[in-house]
Amino acid sequence: MKNQSFGVHNSKSLLTTVFGTVLSILLLAGTCYSQKPTKEEKRLYKKAKKQLANEDFKNAQANYLKLVEMNATDEIYNFEGGLSFYFADFERAKCIPLFEATLANSKEDTIPEIYYYLARAYHFNGEYEKSREAFNKFKPFIKTNSKSGQELMKQSEYYIKISDNGKKYLADKNENIVVTNLSNKINSSYGEYAPVLKENDNVLLFTSRRKIGNSKKTDKDLLPYENVYVAKKANDEWELITDQAEIEKYIPKNLNSKKHDAGIIYSSDGKTLYTYKDDVIWKSILENGKWSKLVELDKNINSSQYNIPSVCLSKDGNTIFFVSYRKDGIGGKDIYKSVKNSEGNWSTAENLGETINTKFDEDSPYLSEDGNTLYFSSKGHEGIGGYDIFKSQLTNGNWGSPENMGIPINSAVDDIYMVLDKDAKNGFFASARDGGIGGMDIYSLCMHCPTKITNAVNGLLVDNSDAPLNNGSITMKNVSSDNTLGTYQTDEGKFSITTENTGKHELIVEAPEYEKQIVFIELPNTSSESDVKIQLNQFQKEEETYQIITLTSNKLGLNESDTIKVAKIIADVPTNVDVPTNNDSNLINDVNLSSGEIIGSYQEFFGYNLKEINASNAEFLKMLNAATNKTKNGKKIFISIESSASRVSTKEFRTNIKLASERGDDAKKLIVKLLTDKGVNKDDIVVNAINSYVSGPKYSGDYKNTEKYKKFQYVKIDIK
């Protein structure tokens, strides 16, 4: 990775641009001071200018800020002070007020290149419209009768174009994608990049050019050599592993040398690690708990004079994508593909072609778990600035046109080295965006984590014949906070509720000529729109009036058996007693009999996506025996079931509330079957309630943390 040097500036080319090339193609007036400087100012300015020329940006910044305090209107102090931030790796946006002060205090043609630097500063700070305006003000100063001037004009037009791109992508920013800096526990002022995820172990490798101990050894760019570091996630935070024995579980012993070393990628089974050193790519295999000696890949991969340490593999390990400079390339760095033959050797590399590669640089390919999506970074496709991250879909054996991943994944500077988990929901990438800790930092990425959740409930209140009930009202309360969200009136039976709340909510339903009743809904922790139907039904039984309320919603996974409730409409009987799924009067007749002492209880906790009760458990059998003995005395039994699913995502059951409901339904079917097998009359078994919930902490991708989630995955049974 040394040839990429992210966040590292070449001193000669940088300062030639600042004090040479740009000045030679602009119409400049001589430098002047707005007022006569003091001796102290002259001394400090000489020192600051030397520090800037030597790229000692930190000290230059401090001294230029002192100069600005002494003389806030001096255009040179502001301009060169701005440059000390502009060319630094940290807090670059601080150059903007200094450049703006330069313009405010200078003549129109005094420092015309200020428009260029201000335009670039606005751009990498995400102020795209201001960047466009500044470039348009800069263009008239360019001497287009020279080659260098013509080149600068092209560059200005290019930046105007990508500012327009930035404005467009900013307007379409995906609010459901969350990007988070991994903090100074992982990132440093030296720059970190190339994250490598070992998903099953919650382990992250990354490359850094940070200083090691008291070592003063540096490369030609005056930065320390690259080394590989290992971090592990614990309690939702990433922390460096410092124990050598623990480190050697994930990388070969002595992987880091005195030169450049970098991790590249693990194979899908985690047993092969590809690394980079000596400008070529190597691999090491995990054997009997130890990593083997590094073996160089064959020349079909390592054939270039400059091999770029970016590699990804198909799930079966038989196709490799890598980056290289080659004579058959389209331009700059290109992405190539090679396939492993029956003898285990890599075939002649194939350029992915002009759909993926451009005349500019492409880098850091990453293949999805199913092999149908290729993620990569490019400077040549339609982007916002620097490297942008793109994705391309495989259709009929061909890669489709790359799609820019947009903001907030991409920024106006380099965004590169994206890796994702198997579900393509969480991942990592490196970015040089402003606000980081170093020139290039590692960021975590959550693809489906909305920062703002909007749950919309479109409801319909009807009677037993589905006729709309007017002048009704629905009051919604959050169960956990006991806060009332509001009361919503029905219009032709319809009502609408919009909230940012999630979790369990109480709906208090009222309508003329009907008894007030309560039902519950579980709002998902992602934005949703749900159709809900609430039905009220009154009927007579033995000169008494009863009322049933049912709530159904396909979107929320609710059917009548989940939500039917009956109330006997007399003052001394509690309302909202739960009963089974139909309006059978024989069931209603048992409502008043369902109170009493609990004769047996059982609770079982489940693993991820499991729902089968252990029918041989001693406590479960004890409960069944107690229920059987009660029916032998001519009495009925009343069963209440509470079932829960955690918030860990489930594909198998579509939604978590569906999983919770199935746990409750399965428990009911099992108990009824086992009791009837024991000779209990089915009419003597009354299931009062199946209450299903989604509960527990917000899911954060750590589904293997069974201790955290298992206590919220259960079925609880009470029998009276």
In the beta sheet, which residues pair with residue 415? 431
SS3 category, 310: strand
Q: pLDDT at position 107, please?
A: 67
Averaged pLDDT of the chain: 84
Interatomic CA distance for residues 500 and 492, integer angstroms: 26
Could you tell me the CA-to-CA distances from 529 to 294, 454, 532, 551, 552 in Å, in that order? 54, 8, 10, 16, 14
Residues 6 or more apart from 10 whose CB is under 8 A from it? 221
Q: Is the pLDDT of residue 180 over 90?
A: yes
Q: pLDDT at position 430, please?
A: 95
Cβ–Cβ under 8 Å, residues 119 and 97: no
Residue scoring higher pLDDT (222 or 268): 268
Q: What is the pLDDT of residues 191-235, one digit of tens each?
A: 899 999 998 888 999 999 888 877 778 888 778 888 999 999 988
Q: What is the pLDDT of residues 367-395, one digit of tens each?
A: 999 999 999 999 999 999 999 999 999 99
Per-residue pLDDT band at 15 (split at 50, 70, 90): very low
Q: Is the pLDDT of residue 587 over 50?
A: no
Q: pLDDT at position 159, please?
A: 93
Q: Is the pLDDT of residue 12 over 50?
A: no
Q: Is the pLDDT of residue 305 over 80?
A: no
Residues 6 or more apart from 707 whose CB is under 8 A from it? none
Q: pLDDT at position 124, please?
A: 86
Cβ–Cβ under 8 Å, residues 81 and 75: no
SS3 labels along 336-347: EEEEECCCCCEC
Q: What is the pLDDT of residues 440-494, one digit of tens each?
A: 999 999 988 766 778 899 999 999 888 999 999 999 998 877 788 899 999 999 9
Cβ–Cβ under 8 Å, residues 231 and 247: no
Q: Which two tokens stand for residue 86?
A: 């502009």
Q: pLDDT at position 480, please?
A: 77
Residues 6 or more apart from 147 whose CB is under 8 A from it? none
**How do strand 227-234 and strand 237-240 relate by DSSP bridges?**
antiparallel
Q: pLDDT at position 133, please?
A: 95
Q: pLDDT at position 524, please?
A: 86
Q: pLDDT at position 644, please?
A: 87
Q: Picking from 62-76, 140-154, 300-314, 606-620, which range would have the lowest pLDDT averaged per residue? A: 300-314
Q: Is the pLDDT of residue 58 over 70?
A: yes
Q: What is the pLDDT of residues 559-586, one digit of tens each?
A: 654 445 555 443 223 333 333 333 343 4
SS3 category, 35: coil
Q: pLDDT at position 374, please?
A: 97
Per-residue pLDDT band at 302 (split at 50, 70, 90): confident
Percent of the chain with pLDDT over 70: 87
Nearest to 411 by CA among 386, 428, 447, 391: 386
Cβ–Cβ under 8 Å, residues 417 and 430: yes
Residues 6 or more apart from 684 whose CB is under 8 A from it? 631, 635, 636, 637
Q: Is the pLDDT of residue 29 over 70?
A: no
**How do strand 192-198 and strand 203-208 relate by DSSP bridges?**
antiparallel
Q: pLDDT at position 32, please?
A: 47
Interatomic CA distance for residues 169 and 110, integer angstroms: 35
Per-residue pLDDT band at 108 (split at 50, 70, 90): low
Q: Which amino acid is at 660?
A: A
Q: Which amino acid is at 320?
A: I
Q: Which residue has the tokens 């001519």?
A: 634
Per-residue pLDDT band at 30 (split at 50, 70, 90): very low
Q: Give, for 418, the enclosing helix (H) or strand (E).
A: strand 415-420
Q: Is the pLDDT of residue 684 over 90?
A: no
Taking the alpha carbons of 339, 341, 343, 347 in that order, is the dihedral positive or negative?
Answer: negative
**How do strand 473-478 and strand 307-313 relate by DSSP bridges?**
unpaired
Q: pLDDT at position 585, please?
A: 38
Beta strands in 149-289 (DSSP E): 178-181, 192-198, 203-208, 227-234, 237-240, 261-266, 272-277, 280-287
Q: Picking from 334-338, 396-400, 549-553, which range would have the lowest pLDDT averaged per residue? A: 549-553
Q: Give, for 244, the enclosing helix (H) or strand (E).
A: helix 244-247
Q: What domains can be seen in the chain, in order of their start residue?
A: 11-171 (1.25.40.10), 178-446 (2.120.10.30), 452-581 (2.60.40.10), 594-720 (3.30.1330.60)
Q: Is the pLDDT of residue 651 over 80?
A: no
Nearest to 468 by CA among 507, 494, 497: 494
Q: What is the pLDDT of residues 336-363, one digit of tens each?
A: 999 998 888 899 999 999 999 999 999 9
Q: Is the peptide bond before 512 cis (omega within 30 degrees of 0)?
A: no
Residue scoring higher pLDDT (308 or 40): 40
Mean pLDDT of 591-603: 67
**How do strand 685-694 and strand 637-645 relate by DSSP bridges?**
parallel
Q: Is the pLDDT of residue 4 over 50?
A: no
Q: pLDDT at position 543, please?
A: 63
Per-residue pLDDT band at 659 (split at 50, 70, 90): confident
Cβ–Cβ under 8 Å, residues 56 and 172: no
Nearest to 710 by CA among 604, 612, 601: 604
Largest CA distance in the chain: 110
| C-alpha dihedral, 357 to 360 to 363 to 365, nearest 10° | -20
Interatomic CA distance for residues 240 and 345, integer angstroms: 36
pTM of the model: 0.62
